[in-house]
Chains A and B, each alone.
Chain A
């Protein structure tokens, strides 16, 4: 069965620090990869997505992610975080094996950024 692993459950950073959140998935076929963010009290919002092409994907608010097929990874990065990046971050995948119908989510990483 497909699964998504996010290595860090809680991350605490100071403003201006660099961020990297790990995500690995367990499906060898063609996949779509997503990062969603949930700010406190708000709904899941799409940060960025990878379908095909350039494995380095740029999203909103200065986030980017790199798809490394050989490592089954899709890590999220930001060079300099802000207090407003405090949120929970979810990696998700869907695939042709599931008819692209369902997203499989990781457990989420709760990021706290201190001023």
Chain B
């Protein structure tokens, strides 16, 4: 069964550094998402992406964050200057379509630790 994959599984970085989290969505999916889960808190929506554009973003997704689909298979989340509070598990998801009948499939996550 096709799966969403994410790399790396764990990233440790210093405060102020840039990080890029990578995702390979399911191959025939067109809609891509990032979510994050701070330890002990809810899974929170960050951004959705379709047709090389952001469809929707949350208030968490400020100017420090950006997303890109640099080629036909990868979908990346960049954090420009990491803060301590960016430490979280970041999940990528994809869906074949959106609307009434979509299902989002999640990757295994990247645990980001900002020191």
Q: Chain A: residues with CB nearer than 8 A to chain B?
A: 30, 32, 34, 36, 42-46, 49, 51-52, 90, 92, 94, 96, 98-108
Cα A104 to Cα B77 with chains together (Å):
20
Q: How far does the Cβ of B46 sit from chain A's closest Cβ, in whole Å?
A: 9
List the count of A-B residue pairs having beta carbons below 8 Å apart: 61
Contacts of B98 on A, CB cut-off 8 Å? 99-101
Q: Give the interface size class of chain B.
A: 20 to 34
A51, B100: Cβ atoms under 8 Å?
yes
Q: Find the A residue at minimum CB distance from B3.
A: A43
Residues of B within 8 A of A42 (CB): 108
CB proximity of A9 to chain B, nearest CB, Å: 10
Chain B residues with CB under 8 A of A36: 106
Determine whether the beta carbon of B108 is less than 8 Å from that of A99. no
- A100/B103 in contact, CB under 8 A: no
Cα–Cα distance between A30 and B101 once the two chains are bound (Å): 12
